[in-house]
Amino acid sequence: MRRLSPLTIFMLSAFGWIVALTALWSQVSAWTSYPVGVLSHMALEQGAPMWVRQVHLSPGTMEVDTAISVPVPGAGGRRGEITIDVSTARYAYGLPIFIALVLAARGRGRLGRVAAGYALLLPFQAFSLTMNALMQMVLAAQADIRLLRVSQWQMEAIVYGYQLGSLVLPTLVPILLWLWMDRKFVNDVLIRSWRESLPPAASSP
């Protein structure tokens, strides 16, 4: 029976850990993502005071009362200020991916790497959450720069920031962080195993 390579063992282990930890994370994400909400709360109040009146934070949810006034349908031309709700765990699903990779790599100091990784991921998750909240405000105002009191370049920055925060950072940052933290394992085990699995180069005539 052929012995499994270290690379195969790592991939199978990582997959199993991701499935198990994602299921566990879904039960506790409201609490593990609470610091994400705190950072996003601070960013919104400091970075967009012309839009944000007050932020209400609870485990799992961030509610933002805005100063953006929009017409109320069927209210005879009256206007109302919008309120948006966002899940603080919406972009924090990279945490179980990162922990799964650390556990699959084994080695010493795993607990320390998990704790450090959790802390280092928070600013990126908060960025994604903040851009999501800002994008909701932009959409609620129908991207009217006069109503929002911003310039065109600021509007485009929010759109690009939202795309970066929702499509790239949640999955890419946890993997890059693990590659950096466990670079010795990656170099000594994974890359070596991958090289050994390559077919030998054809001999020159």
What is the average per-residue pLDDT within 159-167? 95
Q: What is the pLDDT of residue 203?
A: 41
* For range 11-37, the mean pLDDT: 96
- Mean pLDDT estimate for the chain: 89
How high is the pLDDT of residue 3?
Answer: 76
Cα dihedral 181, 183, 185, 191, rounded to 10, equals 150
Query: pLDDT of 85-104, one tens digit each?
Result: 999 999 999 999 999 999 99
Give pLDDT, residue 29: 97
For residues 29-46, average pLDDT:
96
The mean pLDDT value for 79-90 works out to: 89
What pLDDT was estimated at residue 74? 63
How far apart are the C-alpha atoms of 84 and 55, rounded to whole Å?
10
- In the prediction, which pLDDT does 174 show? 97
Of 179, 193, 191, 190, which is closest to residue 97 (Cα–Cα)?
A: 179
The model carries a pTM of 0.88
Q: What is the mean pLDDT of residues 132-160?
A: 87
Say if residue 193's pLDDT is above 80.
Answer: no
- Judged on CB neighbours under 10 Å (0-12, 13-18, 19+), 66 is buried
Confidence band (pLDDT; 50, 70, 90) for 157?
A: very high
Please state, as a whole number, how many other Cβ atoms lie within 10 Å of the Cβ of residue 121.
22
What pLDDT is attached to residue 75? 60
pLDDT exceeding 70 applies to what percent of the chain? Answer: 92
DSSP state of 112: H
> Which residues lie below 8 Å from residue 82, measured CB to CB, with a gap of 6+?
66, 68, 70, 137, 140, 141
Does residue 179 register a pLDDT over 70?
Answer: yes
Query: Is pLDDT of 204 > 90?
Result: no
Of 7-16, 27-36, 115-124, 186-195, which range is least confident? 186-195
Average pLDDT over every residue of 19-41: 97
